[in-house]
Amino acid sequence: EPEVTQTPSHQVTQMGQEVILRCVPISNHLYFYWYRQILGQKVEFLVSFYNNEISEKSEIFDDQFSVERPDGSNFTLKIRSTKLEDSAMYFCASPRAEGTDTQYFGPGTRLTVL
């Protein structure tokens, strides 16, 4: 059973549209991470989020991306104006307990930009 859940499992959108990907932890995690995996490639770090603030972001995470914690239990990744190259699997991850280093991944959202 995954530590976190993600919705939707698959999102299809038109280029230029905004998408919001959601991540819900089973327990109340303060640390959250987003990763991206373009089909056939390795998993890449996007952003880490701690206690309602971005703690680190990669060069992939440009102004088109944003992360929020709209309420106490959800984390979101928003892409404002999707491009074809945003098509990928998007994973959120979290440690099982605060102060631990091992990240457990959600099942992922497959984003397809047409």
Partner 1 sequence: AQTVTQSQPEMSVQEAETVTLSCTYDTSENNYYLFWYKQPPSRQMILVIRQEAYKQQNATENRFSVNFQKAAKSFSLKISDSQLGDTAMYFCAFMSFGNEKLTFGTGTRLTIIP
Q: How far is the CB of 64 from partner 1 (least distance, A)?
A: 20
Distance CA 53, CA 39 (A): 29
Which residue, 23 or 89, is less far from partner 1 as judged by CB? 89
Instruction: Note the residues at the interface with partner 1 (CB under 8 A).
Output: 2, 31, 33, 35, 37, 41-45, 48, 50, 55-56, 58, 89, 91, 93, 101-105, 107-108, 110
Residue 8 carries which side chain, given as an amino acid letter?
Answer: P
- Going by their DSSP bridges, the two strands 43-50 and 10-13 should be labelled as unpaired
| Under 8 Å between Cβ of 96 and 1 | no
Q: How far is the CB of 60 from partner 1 (least distance, A)?
A: 12
Q: Which is nearer to partner 1, 64 or 110 (CB)?
A: 110
* Radius of gyration of the CA atoms of the chain, in A: 13
